[in-house]
Copies of this chain bind each other. A is one copy, B any other.
Amino acid sequence: MRTEISTLGEFGLIDHLTKEIQLTQPTTRKGVGDDAAVIDNGGKHTLVTTDLLLEGIHFDLTYVPLKHLGYKAAIVNFSDIYAMNGKPQQITVSLGISQRFSVEDLETFYAGVLLACEIYGVDLVGGDTSSSLTGFSISITCIGTADEEKIVYRNGAKDTDLIYVSGDLGAAYMGLQLLEREKAVFGEKGNADFQPDFSGKEYILERQLKPEARRDIVRILSENGIVPTSMIDVSDGLSSDILHICKQSNAGCRIFEERLPIDYQTALMAETFNMNVTTVALNGGEDYELLFTVPLSLHDKMSTLPGIHLVGHITKPDEGCYLVTRDGQEMKLKAQGWNPLEK
């Protein structure tokens, strides 16, 4: 018997493979299913998250500079720790390297990782290097810490909680579209002198090539004594990620189209590409913004905080998960996730 992975999709596959897992160690406080695992070895709790990045799937070295790749690979893991309301402290970096890489290439990649570490106050503490017969493989694990009572899981959202997101959405995705287009043009022209014109598009490119993790939001929430009831970082797109919160919290939600924070460059580029900007904001992914819920009673306090946007509210589970469009229609939110049939 052979069941194709495509019949399950990413989230279905993970659910299928992990549904039988029993946790047996008293030190394990949270296993599979959140932004990070939570371990209690006494003292502060330890958070662990990991990502595997493969050439041709997660990045394209045609237009991603190695230093940026190293920076981003670190940042996306820091983001998972912040999404638990924790502080990243250590990372390990494992690399599978093909022969076309030189020592200088790896120095450049490492320089990006170490720059991220320096800016975010994280130590690089280990890893593994190996040759690879094919492309470049990167596996990063990040270790963080948090006080037990401040850890925020995905499963604590309650009916009437407000839903907030930091920054803006869809920019990284439009940056990727732009890079893909320029790569195609470059390929057609076959001209090494070809110089793409990126002026006026710096923001969406930076969001794709050099994202930041929202340490500042975690700090602002902490300084204002706010512990969200649930939180996740937006890596797959707001639509998929609010569905994770709703599923694990046994709740529904309403997201309001008119409230989705979208940068001007994102909107302009979506228009250029003839894409629906709401779809881009909901499903683009790689935003690395924080998506979180807080009790309705905190509304007034929340509205004084910079850099966050109220985008909707949590409902009872039987009310489902919907986008409320500008004209008042309700459209069901869908998880995108990773599809093994697509690149």
Q: Which residues of A come within 8 Å of B, CB atoms? A: 1-5, 7-8, 10, 13-14, 16-18, 20-21, 23-25, 27-28, 30-32, 36-37, 39-46, 48-58, 89-90, 92, 94-97, 99, 101-104, 106-107, 110, 114, 121-135, 137, 139, 141, 143, 145, 338-341, 343
Contacts and interface: CB of A to CB of B under 8 A. Distances in A.
A32 B137 contact: no
A303 B118 CA distance: 49
Contacts of A2: 102, 104
Nearest to A102: B2
B28 A123 contact: yes
Given A13-B103, A57-B133, A89 B141 contact: no
7 contacts: A7-B103, A28-B89, A41-B43, A41-B145, A48-B48, A58-B130, A97-B340
Contacts of A36: 126
Nearest to A106: B17
Given A37-B90, A46-B46, A55-B133, 6 more contacts: A21-B124, A25-B123, A28-B123, A43-B43, A52-B94, A54-B130
Contacts of A338: 129-131
A92 B143 CA distance: 12
A42 B44 contact: yes
Contacts of A129: 10, 13-14, 17, 338
B143 A101 contact: no
Given A106-B17, A132-B57, A338-B131, A95 B52 contact: yes
Given A4-B103, A13-B103, A57-B96, A90 B48 contact: yes
Contacts of A106: 5, 13, 17
A16 B103 contact: yes
A124 B19 CA distance: 11
